[in-house]
């Protein structure tokens, strides 16, 4: 897998967290995320996966560019379990226009649900608003460049 990025720490993280056989990831400055190579369907839609990550989570967006607009088919949220990625949330959509604000809100909600369930398993009590605020910070951190 070839990653086009000058930051070796980030490249290593992406390779370990997101093993993709035969695909190249390129950073798209306009969307502020890594994108896989695109493929074109028989209908003429172009499909790709967009990836945002931080040191704690990975956000994966399965997107398509149609003749009129970009749409979102699926969002997956992963955390790290040692050197492996672990799925903690997934949502699928049909005929849903892509919106960065919508995708961010969905990711915050999925992470919040995961953290609430983990708090219950551990027997801890954490205020819901604190969990939502922390989840939003985690999502926001995926927009920052990781330092080497």
Beta bridge partners of 125: none
Return the axis-axis angle of helices 100-122 and 128-141, rounded to nearest 10°: 130
Share above pLDDT 90 across residues of the chain, in percent, rounded to a whole number: 49
Q: What's this model's pTM, rounded to 2 decimal places?
A: 0.79
Residue 40: phi and psi, rounded to 5, are -110, 130
* Position 12 confidence tier, pLDDT thresholds 50, 70, 90: low
What distance in Å separates the CA atoms of residue 17 and residue 23, rounded to the nearest whole number?
14
- The answer to whether residue 141 scores a pLDDT higher than 70 is yes
Is residue 59 within 8 A of residue 75, CB to CB? The reply is yes
The pLDDT of residue 1 is: 41
Q: Is 2 exposed, middle or buried (0-12, 13-18, 19+ CB in 10 A)?
A: exposed
Comparing CA positions, the residue from 99, 100, 56 lying closest to residue 78 is 56
What distance in Å separates the CA atoms of residue 59 and residue 18, rounded to the nearest whole number?
10
Region of 72 (left: φ > 0; alpha: ψ -120 to 50; beta: rest) is beta
Share above pLDDT 70 across residues of the chain, in percent, rounded to a whole number: 81
Is residue 105 within 8 A of residue 131, CB to CB? The reply is no
- Give the distance, in angstroms, between the CA of residue 17 and the centroid of all CA atoms in the same chain: 11
What distance in Å separates the CA atoms of residue 44 and residue 75, rounded to the nearest whole number?
22
What distance in Å separates the CA atoms of residue 72 and residue 141, rounded to the nearest whole number?
21
């Amino acid at each position: 897998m070839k990653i086009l990025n000058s930051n070796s720490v980030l490249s290593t993280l992406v390779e370990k967290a997101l093993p993709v056989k035969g695909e190249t990831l390129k950073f798209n400055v306009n969307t502020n995320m890594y994108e896989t190579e695109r493929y074109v369907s028989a209908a003429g839609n172009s499909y790709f996966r967009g990836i945002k990550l931080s040191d704690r989570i990975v956000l994966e967006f399965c997107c398509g560019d149609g003749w009129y607009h970009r749409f979102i088919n699926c969002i997956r949220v992963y955390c790290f379990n040692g050197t492996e990625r672990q799925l903690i949330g997934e949502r699928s959509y049909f005929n849903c226009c892509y919106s960065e604000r919508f995708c961010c809100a969905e990711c915050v909600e999925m992470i919040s649900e995961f953290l609430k369930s983990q708090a219950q398993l551990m027997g801890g009590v954490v205020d819901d608003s604190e969990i939502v605020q922390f989840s939003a910070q985690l999502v926001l951190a995926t927009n920052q460049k990781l330092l080497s």
